[in-house]
C-alpha cells in the first residue's frame, strides 16, 4: 500500500491499495482511521467498460458526491468562501471530464482502450 500525502489528513489516512495498472492509475483505495480501522473503500473502474463492463466507480461519481456535500454545507448554517471556491473548482473539473467524454464519444472511442 502507498500512503497518499497530499492535503491535510488530521483524522484519517488514505492509501492506494493496488499498483498502477494499464493507463497508469491505481484502482483501489482505502481510508483508515488510526493504524488499521477501515472507514471507507473506493474501487474505481478497471479497464474499458466495453471490454470489462462496469466493475467500479468513476472519478465523476466521486466528484458528484463531493459537489452534493459542499452544496449541502453551503445551504446550511455555515456557508463560507472557501467551500464556494472549492465547489466551483470541482464543478469545473467535472466540466472538463465531461468534455473529454463527449470528445471520446464523438470519435467513437469511449469505453475502449484507445487514445
- pLDDT, tens digit, for every residue of 48-63? 888 899 999 999 999 9
Determine if residue 57 is left, alpha or beta; phi over 0 gives left, psi from -120 to 50 gives alpha, anything else beta.
beta
pLDDT band, very low/low/confident/very high, at 69 (cuts 50, 70, 90): very high
pLDDT at 74: 97
pLDDT at 27: 97
Instruction: Give the least confident one: 7-16, 17-26, 34-43, 80-89.
Output: 7-16
pLDDT at 23: 85
Does the predicted TM-score (pTM) go above 0.85? yes
Whether pLDDT at 7 is above 90: no
Distances in Å between the alpha carbon of 77 and those of 39, 66, 72, 74? 27, 18, 10, 8
Mean pLDDT, residues 67-96:
97
pLDDT band, very low/low/confident/very high, at 22 (cuts 50, 70, 90): confident
Give the sheet arrangement for strand 2-3, strand by strand: 2-3, 13-16, 28-33, 37-43
Amino acid at each position: 500500500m502507498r500512503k497518499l500525502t497530499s492535503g491535510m489528513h488530521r483524522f484519517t489516512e488514505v492509501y492506494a491499495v493496488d499498483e498502477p495498472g494499464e493507463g497508469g492509475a491505481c484502482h483501489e483505495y482505502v481510508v483508515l482511521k488510526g493504524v488499521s480501522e477501515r472507514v471507507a473503500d473506493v474501487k474505481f473502474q478497471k479497464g474499458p467498460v466495453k471490454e470489462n463492463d462496469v466493475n467500479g466507480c468513476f472519478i465523476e461519481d466521486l466528484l458528484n458526491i463531493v459537489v452534493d456535500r459542499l452544496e449541502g454545507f453551503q445551504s446550511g448554517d455555515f456557508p463560507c468562501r472557501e467551500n464556494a471556491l472549492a465547489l466551483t473548482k470541482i464543478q469545473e473539473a467535472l466540466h472538463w471530464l465531461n468534455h473529454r467524454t463527449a470528445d471520446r464519444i464523438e470519435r467513437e472511442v469511449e469505453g475502449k482502450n484507445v487514445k
